[in-house]
């Protein structure tokens, strides 16, 4: 029963993929979307069952589906590992996934390729579930690449848009760079442990040298950085906003992009042995958190602001991993899934209401027109900004407190500044979208409408989760959440200390709240009280403003450094192939032909005395490319065969001279 | 040779499979033109059906040659009609019989002139290719090996594109040059290996290292051209561009495998010392091919050229795996051979299908096909994803095993090969972006019709294989294990001999393995580097 439930979790959406993918054109959209969200909903129920069972027994179990690859001394099963970490991830993925699927029914209504959309979304669920449920690195890797594929397909959903097609390719290619690092890590693991199973690898991990552990951890980090859009591979995520908004919510905010965090936490045994790698993770995370937040300050596309905020929040999770606060990382992953899905979907509701408008400069004053959406977006903003006692407050505070109590003051400062910026740009977004005077195009303004219940319903659930989602992690570092995850995130022998005193923890909470309120206050001042102040500020520092607006010109830099040279190298090598290599080949051919002409001439004159002077004059005079190349195969063949006979003859003479032909040499 | 072969149980399976297409060719000449296509398809399908029992009856537990048949052909010198299959040739035989019907199908309307001759060429080609994979006698092998050239030459030269003669000549020149040196090597083996052309017997002979060195070079000339390995690859893009679709498919899917098969069947078991000594060079050439092919593919504006160069890159993985000289590498290489046959064959079919509609192979003329041809677009995207080695598709299994094998040999080499994986995503997805996505660019785009039933039937089996091998590779991998392990044992044995007798005078005489110690003059250092290969006079 347990095994069956576990296997059903990914198989149910897979069945929907096959049905919708193969037969979807034969039945109505109603059946297609019911299959879509229905299968994910059932998966969620199965996941709840598995979760309850795991909660009761407290044991990690492995479920083998079948033997997948078998070559030499390498055997890989398609198998699942069910432990507390898997349970949390499964619940988040299927739960949030289910809500987003439901929302999509309304959001995607009437779109061309409706069935295709649900097929891809379900395929994404299958891949993501393989990713979080796999019991070895290769199943993780199938899921890893599978979610990348679905991300690619869904970013390019509006494939006839050039920008969407480009963004899709970019996302896949940048992810591939990370995947190459991930593959190298898998090879290193296989060479060192002769297995790819988590349990066996972690059990033997202590035998690893620090250097090797560091190498593996850093290669894994390359993969994680690609998938989770961290510096320097974050550039694909903002462009990924070309996909439909539910895709941005599910894949590019709540689930897929957190895969890197999951992977690091899953491999924390290896990371714990490699302090250098851990420090790298922390700094990558800290820098990304801060860097992406600064770009988010000035963006004007509602989804792009949210995209940079996602990059920034993922940075917090990496930072948490890097300072050893694995539980906090997963905690923030979970709460972030709630409030970021909420924010994206409410943003989708705004876009839906405004007939596709995404530029916040053309919004404003929507509060009264779409009150539900406004309220829901506001809840999301409060949660992400870290306002007490919403979900984001608890998880972000825990990360920052952990950094402070473990002496990582620089990282703490970066996180704190990042938190201030987050509160600022999120409230800026809220003010510009929902408050002030309306800057709507009057055509758009006439059609503004609140979204249907099928869209608002899931949002309400997410809003509730964004409010209460932090409570399982209260009190910090010793809440229910921490006890549940304790067997997974704490290495044998080690342990997360619970040393910080209550006074310090409380002080840090107050500081965190003050930072968030400060950001809110500044946004309120600039975008609600003195609305011209923001423009003045931008005008006063045009260089800085333009740099931020153009995202520090990183895309341009990468184009200049990598993309253009690669294309040019291809062209140069193409030239090399056609001129140099072919030149040699044809030169040899020409030489052979002359030789052939000569030898044939001798043959014809000296031996047979047959002359065909005209033909030969023609042949030798034929200088043009075509004439030179056409119809002369027999010449090449003749000379080659002649040479062959000579060689064979020589060998026969040689060997018969040394060993005697016809006499057995044995 | 009961210890090397298992005789066929009454029915001459291999003879039947190899010569059925040839018999079909004879039949074709008595038919009216209208029936030619159907009969050719029937013969090809019958041959595929006939080859399936091989796979079912094949005993995967032994490395011995199975379904063997032997008959004297020429008494002096002793040349036999001797055939058999093992785990190395079995998958390639099935690949060949599987793809030939698809080649007939895709040529159904594309070939309008001299249909009879065309179908005859395809079927003769099939006999020759199958003959190469089953031959256990060097002369027989060579006959089939050379026989392949003629129908291929005709396929390109008669039914090819505007520049077909140039391409055909280039193809002919390259391959014939390699073949000639190969023939010389066969003769040398005959005299040095005990006056026999029996491939299995010759594989058991221990050759002196000097001899191995020269023989390897001769084999290399023949096989490297076929693979093709850098820098002997420039015939490939021209041949592909000019060949008709079926010709491209056969060329890419089966003909390119001949070189790799040659390395596995001859170079490794017969010349293990030389193979080990040449490994650094072979790996360097493979890595060059992987990256070079990928960059070249990136620069192409012609779809066929793009896929041709991607073949160079993918075949680089095959040779890389073979010369990792371990079980994962070689099994991965064999998987990659099969997968490349399926995926690249499929991509060429796709190009052929669009060429029939737009009469252009240029990417610029075939943009935005997703709108007018959604089914076609789906197929093309699936094959492109398979080609870039997405997990869950066939190619991943092969590439993964190759990379594991290579990693065991050298970490930097694997890192370089991994770059090839990134580049594969770049050139393939960029192609997909321009051909499938974005707005239609072709003049004919609005009038394009999606796949018809015949085309759908041509592509659908390949998609099934892509996912089937991707998720359940064991039916393909299992038959290989015994043969590959046997090969590895032989290589290890050679390694040990070298380790025990690292120095000594060159000895041109040959002995059976197990006789007095040989004295290799090739020294293979523990850290593989070509500089360590010292050839004493």
Query: What share of chain B in percent tops pLDDT 90?
Result: 24
Longest dimension (CA), chain B: 76
ipTM for the predicted complex comes to 0.78
Per-residue pLDDT band for B442 (boundaries 50, 70, 90) equals low
Instruction: Note the pLDDT of residue A339.
Output: 92
List chain A residues with CB under 8 Å of B195: 664-665
Q: Are A574 and B300 inside 8 Å of each other by CB?
A: yes
Per-residue b or e along A552-586, where b marks 16 or more CB atoms closer than 10 Å to that residue's CB: eeebeebeeeeeeebbebbeebbeebeeeebeebb
Q: Do A659 and B191 touch (CB under 8 A)?
A: yes
Task: Examine the pLDDT at B357 and tell me if it is beyond 90.
Answer: no
**Lowest mean pLDDT: which of A230-234, A486-490, B81-85, B471-475?**
A486-490
Confidence of residue B496 (pLDDT cuts 50, 70, 90): low
Across all residues in chain B, what is the average pLDDT?
Answer: 83
Predicted confidence (pLDDT) at residue B409 exceeds the cutoff of 70: yes
- pLDDT(A27) > 80: yes
Asked if the model's pLDDT at residue B225 lies above 90, the reply is no
Whether the pLDDT of residue B448 is over 60: the answer is yes
Instruction: Examine the pLDDT at B305 and tell me if it is beyond 70.
Output: yes
Mean pLDDT, rounded, for B315-343: 91
pLDDT at A451 over 60: yes
Q: A169–B430: do the CB atoms touch at under 8 Å?
A: yes
Strand stretches in B469-527, DSSP E: 511-512
Of A314, A430, A344, A336, nearest in space to A386 by CA: A336
Lowest mean pLDDT among A321-330, A443-452, B350-359: A443-452
The answer to whether the Cβ–Cβ distance between B296 and A569 falls below 8 Å is: no
Q: What is the pLDDT of residue B315?
A: 92
pLDDT, tens digit, for every residue of B172-212? 778 877 888 888 888 888 888 778 888 888 888 888 888 88
Residue B381 has pLDDT above 80, yes or no: yes
> Which of chain B's residues have a Cβ under 8 Å away from the Cβ of A632?
169
pLDDT value at residue A96 = 92
Summary mean pLDDT of chain A: 82
Which range of A147-161, A582-596, A614-628, A629-643 scores highest in mean pLDDT? It is A147-161
- Report the range of poorest mean pLDDT among A182-186, A309-313, B213-217, B531-535: B531-535
Q: Would you place residue B263 in the very low, low, confident or very high pLDDT band (cuts 50, 70, 90)?
A: very high
Q: Say what the pTM is.
A: 0.84
Tokens of B33: 């033109």
Per-residue confidence (pLDDT) for residue B275, from 0 to 100: 87
Distance CA A499, CA A322 (A): 19
Which pLDDT band, with edges at 50, 70 and 90, does B47 fall under?
Answer: very high
Instruction: From chain A, pick out residues whose CB is under 8 angstroms from the CB of B429.
Output: 152, 168-169, 172-173
* A29 has pLDDT over 60: yes
pLDDT at A659 over 70: no
For residue A264, pLDDT beyond 80 = yes
Of the given ranges (A479-488, A608-617, B400-409), which has the lowest mean pLDDT? A608-617
Q: Which of A300, A293, A329 minimizes the C-alpha distance to A424?
A: A293
- Show residues of chain B in contact with A567, CB under 8 Å: 298-299
pLDDT of residue A504: 84
- Are A72 and B169 an interchain contact pair (Cβ–Cβ within 8 Å)? no
Q: Quickly count: other Cβ atoms within 10 Å of residue A298's Cβ.
A: 20
* Nearest-by-Cβ selection for A644 from B180, B195, B385: B180
> In chain B, which residues have their Cβ closer than 8 Å to the Cβ of A183?
400, 403, 418, 421
Higher pLDDT, A666 or B370: B370
CA distance B240 to chain A (A): 15
| Residue from the list B170, B231, B437 with its beta carbon closest to the beta carbon of A165 | B437
- Better-scored residue on pLDDT, A328 or B507: A328
Of B191, B326, B433, the CB nearest to A166: B433
Quote helix, strand, coil % in chain A, to nearest 5: 80, 5, 20
pLDDT 10s digits, B80-119 = 888 889 889 999 999 999 999 999 998 888 888 888 888 9
Give long-range contacts, CB 8 A cutoff, 24+ apart: B221-224: B221/B177, B221/B178, B221/B181, B221/B182, B222/B178, B222/B179, B222/B181, B222/B182, B222/B185, B222/B259, B222/B262, B223/B178, B223/B258, B223/B259, B223/B260, B223/B262, B223/B263, B223/B267, B224/B178, B224/B259, B224/B285
CB neighbour list of residue A45: distance below 8 Å, 6 or more residues apart: none
Task: Label residue A595 by pLDDT band (50, 70, 90).
Answer: low
Determine, for residues B391 and A141 on separate chains, whether the beta-carbon distance falls below 8 Å: yes
DSSP string for residues in B71-122: EEEETTTTEEEEEEE-TTTHHHHHHHHHHHHHHHHHTTTT--SSHHHHHHHH
Tell me the pLDDT band of B526, cut-offs 50, 70 and 90.
very low
Name the range with the highest mean pLDDT among A236-240, A344-348, B202-206: A344-348
Cβ–Cβ of B184/A644 closer than 8 Å? yes
**Predicted confidence (pLDDT) at residue B524 exceeds the cutoff of 50:** no
Which residues in B194-233 are b (16+ Cβ under 10 Å) and which e? bbbbbbbbbbbbbbbbbbbbbbbebbbbbbbbbbbbbbbb
Work out the average pLDDT over A263-289. 91
Judged by a CB distance cut-off of 8 A, whether residue A152 touches chain B is yes
Contact B288, B312 (CB under 8 A): no
Q: How far is B294 from chain A (nearest CA, A)?
A: 8
Residue A653 has pLDDT above 80, yes or no: no
Q: Kindly indicate the confidence band of residue B347, based on its pLDDT and cuts at 50, 70 and 90.
A: very high
pLDDT band, very low/low/confident/very high, at A636 (cuts 50, 70, 90): low
Give yes or no for residue B268 having a pLDDT over 60. yes
Which of B194, B407, B422 lies closest to A666 in CB terms?
B194
Q: Which residue of B has its CA nearest to A634?
A: B169
Query: Within 10 Å of residue A510's Cβ, how many Cβ atoms?
Result: 11
Give the 3-state secondary structure of residue B5.
Answer: strand
Q: What is the pLDDT of residue B520?
A: 36
Q: What is the structure's pLDDT at B511?
A: 36
Q: Which residues of B touch A179 (CB under 8 A)?
A: 421-422
Which is nearest to A399 in space by CA: A521, A459, A492, A316? A316
Question: pLDDT value at position B230?
Answer: 81
Task: For A569, name the nearest residue in chain B, comparing CA atoms only.
Answer: B295
- Does residue B42 carry a pLDDT above 80? yes
What residues of chain A lie within 8 A of the CB of B414, using their CB? 184, 187
Q: Which residue from B minimizes the CA distance to A146? A: B391
Supply the pLDDT for residue A665.
35
Distances (CA, A) of A29 to A36, A59, A622, B491: 10, 42, 68, 60
Q: For chain B, say whether A666 makes contact (Cβ under 8 Å).
A: yes
For residues B117-146, average pLDDT: 91
- Looking at residue A640, its pLDDT comes to 60
Q: Is the model's pLDDT at A423 over the cut of 80?
A: yes
**For testing the chain B interface, which of A66, A69, A116, A571 should be mutated: the one with the most B CBs within 10 Å?**
A69
pLDDT band at A637 (very low <50, low <70, confident <90, very high): low
Residue A127 has pLDDT above 50, yes or no: yes
B176: nearest CB among A176, A187, A637: A637
User: What secondary structure does DSSP assign to B6-28, as a single string?
Assistant: EE--SS-HHHHHHHHHHHHHHHH
Q: Residue B394's closest chain A neighbor by CA? A: A69
Q: Write phi, then psi, for B81 (nearest 5 degrees).
A: -85, 100
pLDDT band at A218 (very low <50, low <70, confident <90, very high): very high
Statement: residue A122 has pLDDT above 70: yes
**Stretch A183-201: mean pLDDT:** 89
pLDDT of residue A494: 45
pLDDT at residue A582 above 60?
Answer: yes
B410 and B317 in contact (C-beta within 8 Å)? no
- pLDDT at residue B536 in the model: 35
DSSP secondary structure code for residue B532 in this structure: G
């Amino acid at each position: 029963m347990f095994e069956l439930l576990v296997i059903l979790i990914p198989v149910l959406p897979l069945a929907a993929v096959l049905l919708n993918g193969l037969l979807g054109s034969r039945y109505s959209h109603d059946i297609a979307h019911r299959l879509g969200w229905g299968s994910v909903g059932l998966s969620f129920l199965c996941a709840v069952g598995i979760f309850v069972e795991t909660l009761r027994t407290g044991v990690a179990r492995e479920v083998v589906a079948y033997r997948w690859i078998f070559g030499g001394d390498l055997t890989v099963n398609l198998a699942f590992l069910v432990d507390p970490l898997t349970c949390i991830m499964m619940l988040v993925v299927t739960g949030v996934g289910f809500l987003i699927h439901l929302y999509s029914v309304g959001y995607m209504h009437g779109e061309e390729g409706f069935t295709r959309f649900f097929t891809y979304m379900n395929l994404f669920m299958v891949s993501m579930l393989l990713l979080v449920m796999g019991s070895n690195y290769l199943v993780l890797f199938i899921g890893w690449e599978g979610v990348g594929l679905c991300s690619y397909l869904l970013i390019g959903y509006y494939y006839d848009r050039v920008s969407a097609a480009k963004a899709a390719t970019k996302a896949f290619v940048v992810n591939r760079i990370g995947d190459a690092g991930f593959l190298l890590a898998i090879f290193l693991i296989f060479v060192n442990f002769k297995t790819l199973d988590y349990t066996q690898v972690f059990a033997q991990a202590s035998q690893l040298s620090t250097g090797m552990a560091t190498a593996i951890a850093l290669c894994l980090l390359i993969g994680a950085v690609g998938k989770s859009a961290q510096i320097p591979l974050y550039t694909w995520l903002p462009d990924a906003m070309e996909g439909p908004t539910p895709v941005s919510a599910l894949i590019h905010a709540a689930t897929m992009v957190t895969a890197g965090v999951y992977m690091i936490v899953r491999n924390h045994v290896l990371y714990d042995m490699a302090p250098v790698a851990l420090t790298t993770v922390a700094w990558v995370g800290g820098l990304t958190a801060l860097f992406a937040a600064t770009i988010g300050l000035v963006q004007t596309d509602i989804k792009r602001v949210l995209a940079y905020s996602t990059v920034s929040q993922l940075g917090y999770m990496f930072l948490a991993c890097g300072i050893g606060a694995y539980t906090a990382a997963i905690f923030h992953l979970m709460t972030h899934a709630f409030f970021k899905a909420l924010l994206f979907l409410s943003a989708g509701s705004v876009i839906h209401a405004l007939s596709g408008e995404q530029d916040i400069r053309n919004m404003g004053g929507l509060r009264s027109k779409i009150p539900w959406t406004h309220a829901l977006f506001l809840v999301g903003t409060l949660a992400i900004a870290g306002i007490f006692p919403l979900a984001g407050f608890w998880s972000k505070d825990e990360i920052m407190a952990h950094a402070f109590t473990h002496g990582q003051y620089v990282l703490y400062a970066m996180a704190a500044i990042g938190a201030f910026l987050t509160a600022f740009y999120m409230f800026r977004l809220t003010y510009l979208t929902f408050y002030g005077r309306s800057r709507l195009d009057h055509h758009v303004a006439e059609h503004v409408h609140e979204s249907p219940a099928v869209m608002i319903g899931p949002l309400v659930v997410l809003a509730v989760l964004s409010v209460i989602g932090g409570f399982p992690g209260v009190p910090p570092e010793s809440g229910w959440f921490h006890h549940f995850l304790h067997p997974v995130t704490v290495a044998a022998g080690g342990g997360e200390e619970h040393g910080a005193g209550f006074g310090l923890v409380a002080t840090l909470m107050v500081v965190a709240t003050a930072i968030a309120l400060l950001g809110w206050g500044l946004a309120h001042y600039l975008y609600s009280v003195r609305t011209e102040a923001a423009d003045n500020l931008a005008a006063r520092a045009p260089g800085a403003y333009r740099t931020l607006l153009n995202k520090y010109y990183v895309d341009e830099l990468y184009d200049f450094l990598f993309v253009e040279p690669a294309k040019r190298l291809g062209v140069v090598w193409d030239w090399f192939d056609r001129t140099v290599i072919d030149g040699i080949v044809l030169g040899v051919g020409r030489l052979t032909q002359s030789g052939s002409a000569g030898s044939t001439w001798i043959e014809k004159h000296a031996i047979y005395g047959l002359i065909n002077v005209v033909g030969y004059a023609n042949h030798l005079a034929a200088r043009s490319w075509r004439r030179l190349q056409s119809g002369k195969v027999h010449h090449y063949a003749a000379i080659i065969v002649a040479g062959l006979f000579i060689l064979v003859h020589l060998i026969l003479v040689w060997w018969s001279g040394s060993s005697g032909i016809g006499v057995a040499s044995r | 040779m009961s210890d090397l072969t298992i005789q066929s149980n009454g029915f001459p399976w291999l003879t039947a499979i190899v010569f059925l297409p040839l018999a079909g060719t004879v039949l074709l000449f008595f038919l009216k033109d209208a029936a030619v296509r159907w009969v050719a398809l029937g013969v090809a399908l019958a041959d595929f059906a006939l080859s399936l029992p091989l796979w079912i009856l094949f005993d995967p537990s032994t490395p011995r040659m199975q379904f063997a048949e032997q008959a004297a052909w020429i008494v002096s010198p002793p040349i036999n009609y001797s055939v058999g299959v093992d785990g190395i040739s079995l998958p390639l035989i099935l690949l060949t019989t599987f793809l030939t019907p698809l080649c007939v199908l895709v040529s159904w309307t594309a070939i309008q002139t001299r249909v009879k001759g065309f179908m005859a060429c395809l079927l003769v080609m099939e006999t020759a290719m199958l003959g190469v994979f089953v031959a256990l006698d060097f002369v027989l092998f060579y006959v089939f090996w050379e026989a392949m050239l003629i129908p291929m030459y005709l396929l390109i030269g008669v039914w090819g594109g505007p520049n077909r003669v140039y391409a055909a000549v280039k193809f002919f020149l390259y391959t014939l040059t390699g073949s000639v040196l190969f023939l010389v090597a066969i003769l040398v083996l005959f005299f040095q290996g005990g006056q026999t052309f029996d491939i299995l017997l010759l594989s058991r002979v221990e050759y002196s290292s000097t001899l191995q060195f020269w023989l390897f070079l001769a084999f290399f000339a023949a096989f490297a051209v076929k693979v093709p390995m850098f820098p002997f690859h420039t015939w490939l893009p021209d041949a592909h561009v000019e060949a008709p679709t079926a010709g491209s498919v056969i060329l890419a899917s089966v003909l390119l495998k001949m070189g790799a098969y040659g390395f596995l069947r001859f170079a490794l078991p017969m010349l293990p010392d030389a193979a080990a000594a040449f490994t650094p060079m072979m790996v360097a050439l493979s890595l060059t091919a992987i990256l070079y092919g990928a960059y070249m593919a990136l620069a192409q504006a012609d779809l066929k050229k793009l896929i041709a160069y991607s073949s160079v890159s993918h075949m680089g993985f095959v040779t890389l795996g073979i010369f990792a000289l371990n079980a994962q590498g070689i099994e991965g290489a064999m998987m990659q051979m099969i997968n490349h046959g399926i995926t690249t064959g499929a991509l060429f079919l796709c190009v052929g299908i669009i060429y029939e509609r737009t009469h252009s192979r240029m990417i610029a003329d075939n943009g935005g096909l997703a709108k007018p041809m959604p089914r076609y677009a789906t197929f093309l995207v699936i094959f492109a994803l398979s080609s870039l080695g997405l997990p869950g598709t066939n190619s991943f299994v092969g590439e993964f095993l190759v990379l594991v094998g290579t990693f065991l040999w050298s970490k930097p080499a694997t890192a370089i090969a991994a770059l090839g994986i990134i580049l594969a995503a770049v050139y393939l997805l960029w192609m997909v972006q321009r051909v499938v996505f974005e707005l239609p660019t072709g003049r004919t785009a609005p009038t394009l019709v999606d796949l018809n039933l015949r085309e759908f039937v041509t592509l659908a089996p390949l998609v099934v294989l892509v996912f089937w091998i991707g998720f359940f590779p064991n039916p393909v991998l299992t038959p290989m294990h015994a043969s590959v392990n046997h090969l590895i044992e032989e290589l290890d044995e050679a390694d040990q001999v070298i380790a025990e007798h690292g120095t000594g005078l060159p000895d041109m005489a040959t002995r059976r393995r197990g006789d007095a110690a040989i004295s290799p003059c090739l020294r293979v250092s523990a850290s593989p580097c070509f500089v360590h290969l010292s050839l004493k006079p």
